[in-house]
Structure 1
Amino acid sequence: MPHSPTRSIAGTVAAITGGSAGIGAATARALVGAGAKVAVGARRKDRLASLVGELGDEHAVAVPGDVRDAEYNEALVAAAVEKWGRLDTIVANAGIGAYGGILDHDDAVLREMVETNYLATVWSVRSAVRQFRAQGDGGDIVIVSSVAGFRGGADEAVYAGTKFAQVGLSGSLDRELRTEGMRVTLICPAGTASEFAIGAGREEGSAELESYLRPDDVAHAIRVVLEQPRSVRTTVWQLWSSQQQS
């Protein structure tokens, strides 16, 4: 019997953090386009409501809240399970960036970046793993990180540190969870043209953004990973725009 290089994700259920814009919203659209159901989380209720209105109530549910709160992550998973009876995928995508030297931002900005980019990823994963274990049939953990997690640049030390932390977390989780049928994938895009870091080191409409990846590019990579046969796992995927200098 020939081996199929893809599997259908129609009917599967995903929870996505940072889902109100950028990569998160693009991922929601991509997964629903493939027949999946999505619970989307973010702080901006109006953005989430608009996205769910676009995707349809039968395909999506909005769960507004702050991903830095461990209990919120439990609520996001619970909302998916309540609506569709299970969870198959967690996409830990929420992230913020603020560029500048090590002394250029106050403590509150740096704390929010560490908590959003790293601790919130931990809370998202823990919530999903509890549900995957309760179901007993594995699941997918997708962590959206950055190429900065492999090669930190000037004026992004704290941001890069949070991304290095995600790289270490992902690698360890793969070794811990794969025997339970859970796949852990680290998606690492280079610069992506979105609202990310606008006003905190990037300027809206700048020529530089034209050379970057688009959120749909990253969403496509996530869909491809999920559509692989369960016998295959992708641990790290780095993406660069052909125009951006590496």
Structure 2
Amino acid sequence: MTPSATLSNKTAIVTGASSGIGHATALALARHGANLIVTARREDRLRALVDDIEALGARAALHAGDATDDATARQTIALAIAEFGRIDILVNNAGAGSDRNLIDTTVEDYDDLMDTNMKSSFLFSRHAAPIMIEQRSGTILFIASVAGLQGAAGESVYCAAKFAQVGFAQALDAELRKHNIKVGAICPGGTKTEFAVGRGRTEEWVRDSEMMQPSEVADAIVFVCLQPPNVRIPQMTVRHMG
């Protein structure tokens, strides 16, 4: 099984694909032969990503928009069907973080964290699921966090959003498995991304940390997507060695 053909003719949607884990995951899926629909708010970055995907020999299209907007989810799903005729993989990666104590967290912070992490996951899953049910196949992954498995001081609302993602994934696994759809939550530890920069973290702190590279997390995501038809991974924790 050669890497360039393992996901050949599969169509994957990656949200939050303009940077970090989403960007790395889109490229990793393309290296394994998948066609990509990438979405995020920053269109210039998406266009550069599409160029990089096509340079790998895969096909790609983009939809720029806010993942918390229902119209963005609907239009991205419609684009996947128009371009490739099916949806095999949905990676709900769009997210935001915050390293702030409760008393320093505003209502606006709460709404942003819950919407970006959880509402976006609901919207894209809600509109992709009917297509996968009709196909009798598909994989829906939620890029949650170890913060969705154990609470941490200074991350109360972020933990709440990620716990919600993990619970949502567990419920959908039970609901959709009868339709031959695999659902799983990937729970990475610290990763060197733009996550929480300006919300309690600095670029220097991230750069000098022992955290994982986005590509390392992306390899774990691809591993889940490559499982044989009768194997599902409902939950995976990925941690660095620090």
Q: TM above 0.5, one fold?
A: yes
Normalising by structure 1, report the TM-score: 0.93
8 Å contact 1:193–1:209 — kept in the other structure? no
How far the C-alpha of 1:165 sits from its partner, in A, is 0.5
Match of 1:90? 90
How far the C-alpha of 1:208 sits from its partner, in A, is 7.1
How do 1:62-77 residues align onto structure 2 when only pairs under 5 Å count? 62-77=62-77
Match of 2:61? 61
- Deviations 1:78-125 (CA, angstroms, capped at 9, x unpaired): 111111111101000000011111121322122111111111111111
SS for the counterpart of 1:184 is: strand
Q: Structure 2 vs 1, CA of residues 13 and 103 (structure 1 numbering), >3 Å: closer, same or farther?
A: same
Match of 2:102? 102
How far the C-alpha of 1:48 sits from its partner, in A, is 0.6
- Deviations 1:114-171 (CA, angstroms, capped at 9, x unpaired): 111111111111111021123x221000100000011110000000000110111011
What is the one-letter code of the residue matched to 2:72? Y
CA distance in 2, matches of 1:69, 1:207: 30
Match of 1:18? 16
Q: Compare 229-238 and 204-213 and name the one that shifted more.
A: 204-213
- Deviations 1:205-224 (CA, angstroms, capped at 9, x unpaired): 22675310111111101111
SS for the counterpart of 1:211 is: coil
CA distance in 2, matches of 1:74, 1:169: 20
Match of 2:79? 79
The count of aligned residue pairs is 238
Normalising by structure 2, report the TM-score: 0.94
Q: Compare 74-83 and 205-214 and name the one that shifted more.
A: 205-214
**Identity, % of aligned positions:** 37
Match of 1:166? 165
8 Å contact 2:183–2:232 — kept in the other structure? yes
Displacement over 4 Å in runs of 4+: none
Match of 2:230? 231
CA distance in 1, matches of 2:158, 2:97: 6
8 Å contact 2:142–2:186 — kept in the other structure? yes
SS for the counterpart of 2:102 is: coil
Gaps of 5+ in 1: none
Q: Compare 71-80 and 205-214 and name the one that shifted more.
A: 205-214
SS for the counterpart of 2:154 is: coil
Gaps of 5+ in 2: none
CA distance in 2, matches of 1:104, 1:120: 25
Match of 1:27? 25
- Deviations 1:48-85 (CA, angstroms, capped at 9, x unpaired): 11111221286111110011012211111111111111
Q: Structure 2 vs 1, CA of residues 101 and 207 (structure 1 numbering), >3 Å: closer, same or farther?
A: closer
CA distance in 1, matches of 2:206, 2:23: 23
Instruction: Note the aligned Cα RMSD (angstroms).
Output: 1.7
